[in-house]
């Protein structure tokens, strides 16, 4: 658990320090005060771009007239006295660095210490929004338990971009270098097979966690993955078989992808599906409140399946209570306490957190400042 959080030139904060007791932390303040900035800072203590999906160069604080953001840093001291931090060394730097106990470390090592899981207002209509958003959401759930999944997705995405450029350039120019195209598709097939198998394993574990929560006031979902590679993996295809089938598929899709100007085949086209179990209808047909409740149940199921790992999950909830009725708000807080989680939650009104009075640390957030 986080005992101390320090920000330097991060978003709206020139500097900020928050000491915690290790339990739930409620951040209350008006819109624009910087509540979500604090959650984003914690979310960056994991591989990837954090809950806003921002690049490292977009995060540093800017004074009027400054073109590039200032060098920024996020640092935490954990209950075991470990020091974990990340940031950029210079103005506008594109790549962040990670330090653990003062020593440089690869981003994947962050998961040895922290595993942030978050829900944001952007997820309130997750099941009716763009397919790519759902897949990014699910892939983050996957690599919270399997850090290698993030590297496989990054490798796949890079090869996919390079292959598409070759194919598009070849439509009106000279043919693509066949050796380079074969090499890229081999990389895509290998990474894609690893991705598909990891997704299927994670979905199985997540569905099992959802099923154990039958008494939860949050609706349950029956989950699925609509993608040919994931279907093959769920049917028992091993990695070599998956790799061979994907390689054949990429080769067959060359002409179509080049003509379309986009990649129409592969695990990046997979969709996460969800059926509202009680109503037996697709989650996409539900209201934003219904979808939010389904997403929260998935998040709590994710937390349940991560609890036994070396680094327990840390829950970040941005405006999560705002659109829940009083009974579900109370149930959410009760589950957080029952699971023994450290949770950082934001809201505009203290009344939203009345059920936590005396059991959570209340922090007033004002522009650029914190008041405990």
Q: Where are the domains of the chain?
A: 1-114+311-372, 127-308
Report the length, in residues, of the chain: 372
For 362-367, the CB contacts below 8 A with 24+ separation are: 362/26, 362/28, 363/18, 363/25, 363/26, 363/27, 363/28, 364/28, 364/29, 365/27, 365/28, 365/29, 365/33, 365/34, 365/35, 365/38, 366/29, 366/33, 366/34, 367/12, 367/32, 367/33, 367/34
Which residue's entry shows tokens 């043919």?
Answer: 175
Residue 344 neighbours by CB under 8 Å, 6+ apart? 24, 25, 27, 38, 39, 42, 314, 315, 316, 317
Within its chain, how far is the Cα of 198 from the centroid?
Answer: 16
Residue 339, pLDDT score: 83
Read off the pLDDT of each residue in 122-140 and give the average, rounded to a whole number.
Answer: 92
**Fold category of 1-114+311-372 in CATH:** Rossmann fold (3.40.50)
Read off the pLDDT of each residue in 72-95 and give the average, rounded to a whole number.
Answer: 93
Which residue's entry shows tokens 């624009």?
Answer: 32
Each residue's pLDDT tens digit, 249-288: 999 999 999 999 999 999 999 999 999 999 999 999 998 8
Each residue's pLDDT tens digit, 38-50: 999 999 999 888 9
Residue 185 neighbours by CB under 8 Å, 6+ apart? 159, 163, 247, 250, 251
CA pair distance 61, 66, nearest whole angstrom: 9
For 179-186, the CB contacts below 8 A with 24+ separation are: 181/254, 184/159, 185/159, 185/247, 185/250, 185/251, 186/247
Three-state secondary structure call for residue 86: strand
* pLDDT category of residue 323 using cuts at 50, 70 and 90: confident
Three-state secondary structure call for residue 350: helix
CATH superfamily, with its number, for domain 127-308: RecF/RecN/SMC, N-terminal domain (1.20.1050.90)
Tokens of 117: 């899981």
CB atoms within 10 A of CB 4: 13
What residues are paired with 16 via a beta bridge?
Answer: 7
Least confident of 235-239, 280-284, 292-296: 292-296
Instruction: Name the percent of the chain lying above pLDDT 90.
Output: 70
Tokens of 95: 């790549």
18 neighbors 75 (Cβ within 8 angstroms):
no
């Amino acid at each position: 658990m986080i005992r101390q959080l320090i920000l330097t030139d991060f978003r709206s904060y020139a500097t900020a320090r928050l000491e915690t007791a290790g339990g739930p932390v409620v951040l209350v303040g008006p819109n624009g005060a910087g509540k979500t900035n604090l959650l984003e800072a914690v979310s960056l203590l994991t591989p990837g771009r954090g809950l806003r999906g921002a690049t490292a160069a977009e995060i540093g604080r800017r004074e009027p007239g400054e073109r590039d953001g200032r060098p920024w840093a996020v640092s935490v001291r954990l209950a075991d006295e470990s020091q974990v931090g990340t940031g950029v060394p210079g103005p506008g730097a594109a790549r962040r660095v990670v330090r653990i106990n003062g020593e440089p470390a690869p981003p994947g090592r962050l998961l040895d210490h922290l595993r942030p899981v978050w829900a944001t207002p952007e997820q309130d209509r997750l099941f009716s929004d763009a397919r790519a958003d759902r897949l990014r959401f699910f892939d983050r759930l996957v690599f919270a338990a399997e850090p290698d999944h993030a590297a496989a997705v990054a490798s796949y995405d890079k090869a996919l971009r390079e292959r598409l450029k070759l194919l598009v350039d070849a439509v009106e120019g000279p043919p693509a270098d066949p050796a380079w195209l074969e090499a890229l598709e081999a990389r895509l097939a290998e990474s894609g097979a690893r991705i598909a198998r990891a997704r299927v394993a994670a979905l199985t574990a997540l569905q099992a966690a959802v099923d154990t929560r039958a008494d939860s006031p949050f609706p349950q979902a029956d989950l699925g993955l609509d993608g040919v590679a994931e279907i093959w993996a769920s049917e028992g295809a091993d990695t070599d078989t998956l790799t061979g089938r994907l390689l054949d598929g990429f080769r067959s899709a060359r002409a179509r992808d080049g003509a379309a100007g986009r990649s129409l085949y592969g695990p990046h086209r997979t969709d996460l599906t969800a059926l509202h179990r009680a109503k037996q209808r697709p989650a996409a047909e539900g209201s934003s409140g219904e979808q939010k409740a389904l997403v929260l149940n998935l998040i709590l199921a994710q937390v349940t399946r991560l609890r036994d790992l070396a680094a327990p999950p840390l829950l970040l909830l941005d405006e999560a209570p705002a659109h829940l009725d009083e009974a579900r708000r109370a149930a959410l807080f009760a589950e957080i306490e029952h699971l023994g989680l450290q949770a950082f939650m934001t809201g505009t009104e203290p009344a939203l957190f009345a059920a936590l009075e005396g059991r959570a640390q209340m922090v007033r957030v004002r522009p650029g400042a914190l008041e405990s």
